[in-house]
Structure 1
Amino acid sequence: MPLAVRPTVAADAEAVSDLLRVCYTTLMEPGYPPGALDRVLPLMMRANPALLRSGRYYVVETADGTPVGCGGWSLERPDAPNDPVDPTLGHIRHFGTHPDWLRRGVGAALIERCVVDARAAGVQRFECYASLVAGEFYQSQGFRPLGPLDVRIANGMVIPSLLMIRDRL
């Protein structure tokens, strides 16, 4: 089935949140101890309004308009959005693929769109805070792990993650 990748708009918030809810609750649980995600997942499953409006966040849709994947990039660090940016370093953000669409090119299409757009903006490399279950996917897309990382979500909550980098776009 043909897939289309398009930038999101603010009106996509509910559809993206619904997609993230299905993705994260189904796919992330096997990589974490029981209960480890209970407090952080509700915060992670909400679409980020600033990303949706940025022109750098995308949704993958089937021919009938059904969203099956989402993700994007930013110059701002996800954990420090107010810090100065390095215009050559992009940050992969808030990726998710519907469980029924795994290994069908959805994530690869999102990465490719991010690479094309980021390269055009002068970005030379990507950094990613990958969940513990997503490292293999990112490695298949040219990222290499740098080591473990505790990502701060909110109110002192953290989620164990992997810091990964793609040195060349």
Structure 2
Amino acid sequence: MTYTLRPARPTDRHVVDNLLGAVYPRLLLDDYDGVAVDAILPLIAKANPDLLDSGSYYMLFEHGDLVAVGGWTETAPGEDIPEGTAHVRHFATHPDRLKRGHAGRLMDHVRTKARARGIKRLECLSSLNARPFYSKLGFKDHGVDEAPIAPGITFPVVRMAAQP
């Protein structure tokens, strides 16, 4: 297979929006009710401009097609995190390309980059349906919590952590 991995840029917004728009409506319904999904989709099924500009949010292409996105930052949405900790952000694989190792390849890249920056711990707020993915990659489950998504909107997530 021919893979290309590169940092996302602000000009990639449309293509990342398309990928996220294909992922979340299909995959979240496995573990969340339709009302919760309808409330959160407008907020998460689009690219985060700060991530696109971060230099640590990546795009993985297979034969030129965008198949996965994800990255990390030294900040967490709405939370303070300790020094030496990074937050895994907005990982997604196109639903037609699941179970082919794309997100794992991307996570290997994230871990390498985070270690190079001196990061000692990776944390994430996983959707319920992504818990098995993170567990398979060595992330430990620290329980279900409610993540603030927007004023008055929370969403059940799994707090998970691993070494980079």
- TM-score interval (norm. to shorter): over 0.9
Q: Is structure 2 residue 147 aligned with structure 1 residue 151?
A: yes
Tell me the matched-pair count.
Answer: 164
Q: Is structure 2 residue 12 aligned with structure 1 residue 12?
A: yes
In the alignment, which residue of structure 2 is the partner of 1:123? 119
Superposition deviation, residue 86 in structure 1: 2.7
In the alignment, which residue of structure 2 is the partner of 1:75? 74
Find the aligned partners of 2:52 and 2:146 in 1 and give their Cα distance: 25
Counterpart contact for 1:73–1:114, Cα < 8 Å: yes
How do 1:40-119 and structure 2 match up within 5 A? 40-63=40-63, 65-80=64-79, 83=80, 85-119=81-115
Q: RMSD over aligned Cα, in angstroms? A: 1.1
1:17-50 CA-partner distances (Å, limit 9, x unpaired): 1100101111111111232211111110110111
Structure 2 length as normaliser, TM-score?
0.96
* Secondary structure at 1:68 match in 2: strand
Structure 2 regions of 5+ residues with no counterpart?
none
1:85-117 CA-partner distances (Å, limit 9, x unpaired): 533101000111001111111110111111000
Structure 1 length as normaliser, TM-score?
0.93
Identity %: 38
In the alignment, which residue of structure 1 is the partner of 2:134? 138
